[in-house]
Amino acid sequence: NAGVTQTPKFRILKIGQSMTLQCTQDMNHNYMYWYRQDPGMGLKLIYYSVGAGITDKGEVPNGYNVSRSTTEDFPLRLELAAPSQTSVYFCASKAGEPQHFGDGTRLSIL
């Protein structure tokens, strides 16, 4: 049972580049979340999804997009990378309680 899997684990991007952070879960959870963790801070919600085809904005959605075509996958898209998006990104999923987290993606924008 893999749980929540995030790829890649590390990535360096140049300003203006685009990329997709992948997240997949094998627990058949309906709820999925993307958080970012800036240095010395707690996690903040970027986007969430309550099921396939349904997504909504969280606290800090600017500069990101998501899609949820299947229950398993919830990719996060950065269209024009900016230095302010340097952070660690966590994907999570849940059915009831608690949320299950992936191991995170460390992203640096230079």
Query: How far, in Å, are 15, 35, 110 from residue 23 at the CA level?
Result: 23, 12, 23
Q: How far is the CB of 68 from another protein (least distance, A)?
A: 13
Q: What is the C-alpha separation between 67 and 49, in angstroms, rounded? A: 9
Q: What is the C-alpha separation between 22 and 39, in angstroms, rounded? A: 22
- Interface ranges with another protein (CB under 8 A): 31, 33, 35, 40-45, 48, 50, 56, 58, 88, 90, 92, 94, 97-99, 101, 103-104, 106
Q: How far is the CB of 42 from another protein (least distance, A)?
A: 3
Q: How far is the CB of 79 from another protein (least distance, A)?
A: 23
44 burial via Cβ count (<10 Å: 0-12, 13-18, 19+): middle
Q: How far is the CB of 70 from another protein (least distance, A)?
A: 19
Instruction: Give Cβ neighbours of residue 98 (< 8 Å, ≥ 6 apart).
Output: none
CB-nearer residue toward another protein: 95 or 110: 95
Length of the chain: 110
CB-nearer residue toward another protein: 85 or 105: 105
CB-nearer residue toward another protein: 16 or 24: 24
